[in-house]
Amino acid sequence: AQSVTQPDIHITVSEGASLELRCNYSYGATPYLFWYVQSPGQGLQLLLKYFSGDTLVQGIKGFEAEFKRSQSSFNLRKPSVHWSDAAEYFCAMNSGGSNYKLTFGKGTLLTVNP
């Protein structure tokens, strides 16, 4: 069965510091991978996605993620965090083809200290 693991439930960083949020997946082939961000009381906004090709993908708001097949990982990074980045971050995957179902990780809550 496919699954997504986000090992960190809660991360706190200082404004201006770098950020890395971890995501590992379990699937027998290369899945489609996504990072979404959710501010309190809001819907999910797509940050970036990986389907194939270049393993380093750029997203909105200065975020990037790197797909590493050997580690079954798709970690999200940002070189300098802003206070407005405080939110919940969800990693998700689907197996492509006719599969419709997004499998989500449990999310990582990011707190940004001034």
Place of tokens 């990693």: 91
Using the minimum distance from each CB to another protein, give the nearer residue, 15 or 95.
95
61 lies in the site for another protein, by CB under 8 A: no
69 lies in the site for another protein, by CB under 8 A: no
Using the minimum distance from each CB to another protein, give the nearer residue, 25 or 34.
34
The closest of 54, 37, 30, 17 to 90, measured between CA atoms, is: 37
Q: Cα(27)–Cα(84) distance, rounded to whole angstroms?
A: 33
DSSP-derived 3-state class of residue 93:
strand
Contact region for another protein (CB under 8 A) — 21-29, 68-76, 77-85, 99-107? 99-107
The closest of 26, 32, 18, 40 to 89, measured between CA atoms, is: 40
74 lies in the site for another protein, by CB under 8 A: no
Token output for 14 = 């200082």
Site for another protein in 20-59 (CB under 8 A): 32, 34, 36, 41-46, 49
Applying CB under 8 A, which residues contact another protein? 32, 34, 36, 41-46, 49, 90, 94, 96-102, 104-107
